[in-house]
Amino acid sequence: MSADTGIIIAAHGRHYMAQAGDLRLQCVTRGKRSDVAVGDVVTLKLTSANQAVIEGIQERKTLLYRSDQYKSKLLASNVTRLLIVVATEPAFADDLISRALVAADAAGVEAHIILNKTDVTASLEKTRKRLALYAGLGYQVHEVSARTAPEAAVATLMPVLHGQSSIFIGQSGMGKSSLINLLVPDADIAVREISAALDTGKHTTTFTRLYWIDKESSVIDSPGFQEFGLHQLTEGMLERAFPEFGPYLGNCRFYNCHHISEPDCAVLGGVKDGKIAPMRHALYAQLRHESMQTVGY
Ligand SMILES: Nc1nc2c(ncn2[C@@H]2O[C@H](COP(=O)(O)OP(=O)(O)OP(=O)(O)O)[C@@H](O)[C@H]2O)c(=O)[nH]1
Ligand SMILES: [Zn+2]
């Protein structure tokens, strides 16, 4: 039996599926190790024609965490793009978008927003106005309609996805599955194969999985809306994950300013001048509060 290299394409508990060349391998870890994430490049030792043991994980380019109460667990690794799917309806939560953007910035992953269901014209302008905040921060917003203009949706998204390892996230009902099915025509079959192999029975949508769009481009679909794990962020990482704070950092009266209520805080000055959205500053304060509960400063 020989060692091999593969990429983790699905994870369910401590059961994993790896793709190694043309082989799909069911994998387990040694001992109780469970720090393997979808997207990991792993060293494998074959134990049968379709089974292997994960011997090691290669160094990760990026790592995203999902939140599990007060703990952060691994969501996906080696991702280079985060695509946040929102829609004209149902309404989306700004808080979740901003948390996802912070997670992406902190991980060094380029975040994009996809506005789906542009065919629902009644709420299109209102939604565009809400998203203007993020466009103003430098995040690209791509407009699509998976239902009424599927080919245009693929044409809009392919340049964003090409050559990248992307992860799609979105609150329920935004059309994430519809978009993934357009981009990966055999996604349903792949999911069925993987869930049969991982023995997840009918819970076909409860695990994160990776699909290839072409040789250089992959897409990770994660179930439900993943609340990102941000507890591991330090205060310094957190303030830098808000791009609009950038021009103000270093200009506060106190070098170790927390930008919460200090006198002559440049960031608070930016909020007062209308340059920083109060909602974003409030989220910064909230995230800082949340990570203080766990990591402490
Ligand atoms: N009007 C309109 N409806 C759409 C569009 N894309 C998806 N939908 C509908 O929106 C609903 C949700 O789509 P899904 O693709 O299942 O959404 P999802 O984000 O994967 O949601 P979950 O499966 O709950 O996670 C379905 O009824 C789709 O038919 C679109 O471009 N326009
Ligand atoms: Zn400050």
Q: What is the structure's pLDDT at 79?
A: 98
The string of pLDDT tens digits covering residues 232-278 is: 788 899 999 999 999 999 999 999 999 999 999 999 999 999 999 99
- Residue 207: per-residue pLDDT: 77
Query: Ligand 2 (ion): which residues have CB within 5 A?
Result: 252, 257, 259, 265, 267
The average pLDDT across 152-178 equals 96
Mean pLDDT over 39-63 rounds to 95
Instruction: Share the mean pLDDT of the chain.
Output: 90
Structural domain boundaries in the chain? 3-57, 69-221, 235-294
Atom of ligand 1 nearest to the CA of 144: 31
Query: CB-based contacts of 274: which residues, under 8 Å, 6+ apart?
Result: none
Highest CATH level, class, for 69-221 = alpha beta
Fold of 3-57: OB fold (Dihydrolipoamide Acetyltransferase, E2P) (2.40.50)
- Is 137 close to ligand 1, i.e. is its CB under 6 Å away? no
The mean per-residue pLDDT over the stretch 108-133 comes to: 97
Whether the predicted pLDDT of 202 surpasses 70: no
- Asked if the bond preceding 159 is cis, omega within 30° of 0, the reply is no
Whether residue 222 has pLDDT greater than 90: no
Residue closest via CA to ligand 1's atom 17 equals: 175
**Which pLDDT band holds residue 201 (cuts at 50, 70, 90)?**
low
Query: Does residue 225 have its Cβ closer than 6 Å to ligand 1?
Result: no
Gap from CA of 128 to ligand 1 centroid (Å): 19
pLDDT given for residue 225 in this prediction:
62
Question: What DSSP letter does each residue of 240-287 carry, written as one string?
Answer: HTSGGGGGGTT-SSSTT--SSS-TT-HHHHHHHTTSS-HHHHHHHHHH
pLDDT above 60: residue 164: yes
- Condensed to tens digits (0 to 9), the pLDDT of residues 69-109 reads 666 688 999 999 999 999 999 999 999 999 999 999 999 99
Tell the residue nearest (CA) to atom 1 of ligand 1: 117
Identify the weakest region by mean pLDDT among 7-16, 74-83, 125-134, 169-178. Answer: 7-16
Q: Rounded to a whole number, what is the largest CA-CA distance in the chain?
A: 66
Instruction: State the distance from the centre of ligand 2 to the C-alpha of 258, rounded, in angstroms.
Output: 5
Read off the pLDDT of each residue in 7-15 and give the average, rounded to a whole number. 88
Separation of 263 CA from ligand 2 center, angstroms? 8
CB of 100 closer than 8 Å to CB of 82: yes
Name the residue of 178, 179, 205 whose CB sits within 8 Å of the most ligand 1 atoms, as the mutation to test its pocket: 178
Q: Is the pLDDT of residue 297 over 60?
A: no
CB of 217 sitting under 6 A from ligand 1: no
Q: Is 61 in the pocket of ligand 1 (CB under 6 A)?
A: no
* In CATH, 235-294 is 3.40.718.10: no
| Any atom of ligand 1 within 6 Å of the Cβ of 170 | yes
Is 27 labeled as ligand-binding? no
The ipTM is 0.96
pLDDT at 9 over 90: yes
Q: How confident is the model at residue 200 (pLDDT cuts 50, 70, 90)?
A: low
Q: How far apart are CA 135 and CA 279, in angstroms?
A: 15
Q: What is the pLDDT of residue 294?
A: 66
